[in-house]
Amino acid sequence: MKIQLFDRGLPPGKKLFADLDSLCQRFQIDDPEYIRDMSKVYTRGLQGNTILLIDNEVVLVDQYPSKSELEAILSDYLK
């Protein structure tokens, strides 16, 4: 599973990444990538301050779920 968080470096995005990193360790999946180069997602026609991709699929745009909600999202992708 490839998890990428594109973020401008804003506090909510950093917290989201910390939660993602913690959950990835718990689920024993590859470490997520934290990417500040937003041009990579902008060229795909996506706009936002924080964009979460899992396996190149857009999962969240400018949404900051709780850790338990994020766990549920990751669990769905592990099935």
Strand partners, 53: 4, 58
Record the pTM.
Answer: 0.93
Sign of CA dihedral 19, 50, 34, 28: positive
pLDDT of residue 3: 96
pLDDT of residue 64: 96
Half-sphere exposure for 60 (CA within 13 Å, toward CB):
22
The series of mean pLDDT values per 10 residues for the chain, 79 residues long, is 95 96 94 94 93 95 96 91
Domains of the chain: 3-78 (3.40.30.10)
Most distant CA pair in the chain: distance in Å? 33
